[in-house]
Amino acid sequence: MNVRQSGIGMTSRRTRLRMVERLRAQGIRDEAVLAVMGEVPRHIFVDEALASRAYEDIALPLGFGQTISSPRTVARMTELARAGGTLDKVLEIGTGCGYQTAILGKLAKQVYSMERIAALVRKVRRRLREAGVSNVHLRHGDGHAGMPEVAPFDAIVMTAAAARAPDALLGQLQVGGRMILPMTSGNEQHLYLIERTGKGCVERRMDPVVFVPLLPGVG
């Protein structure tokens, strides 16, 4: 592990372990998720000017109108996707800076991630290599469409908010699979857990959150 990965001071492993203890106190119970959160160097996924704030429980700007979600939100979405089990094939909609991608990559056999902004995709390729994550397949594209050619997925994690779950994505979720996404209703956003059963989809509202909107097209 190089110096940038291991970090010093506010980007050190000790700081990550303090973050893990805070996540545990905030109600994250999945020990596999907590272990990976302590392992992946979050500071390499943000601009160096913000590295000293990487382990605070806040969202940080990425440019292009995007943000990196707070550690608690990343841990919660991952915990809901895992549901205490194993992850085989995961689809992520909204790669962003790649931190959530890296966390999923450490816990799933294969991760397929889509991002509409080409400049972010280029940055993430480099950051994932630096973090030692090699099982992620990145694509520059409109997340509304998903990746039907490699479906079905046992989990879909969407990191941008919509008024409803896109039908194309629900159709790529295997029976027994789970989709985690923020949905907007009026002035409020909440995480939703959607589970696909043999008879259809069951939707549950979870935690209040704040995400950027899911936009069409590519940039």
Q: 207 burial class (0-12, 13-18, 19+ CB within 10 angstroms)?
A: middle
| Residue at token pair 């056999």 | 109
| CB within 8 Å of 102: residues ≥ 6 apart | 40, 45, 127, 128, 131, 133, 136
- Asked if residue 152 has a cis previous peptide bond (ω within 30° of 0), the answer is yes
- Separation between Cα atoms, residue 212 and residue 209, nearest integer Å: 10
- Separation between Cα atoms, residue 10 and residue 52, nearest integer Å: 5
69 counts as catalytic:
yes
> For residues 160 and 66, is the Cβ–Cβ distance under 8 A?
no
- Separation between Cα atoms, residue 120 and residue 95, nearest integer Å: 8
> For residues 110 and 89, is the Cβ–Cβ distance under 8 A?
yes
Q: Give the number of other Cβ atoms within 10 Å of residue 98's Cβ.
A: 29
- Which entry of 6, 12, 52, 69 is annotated as an active-site residue? 69
Catalytic residues: 69
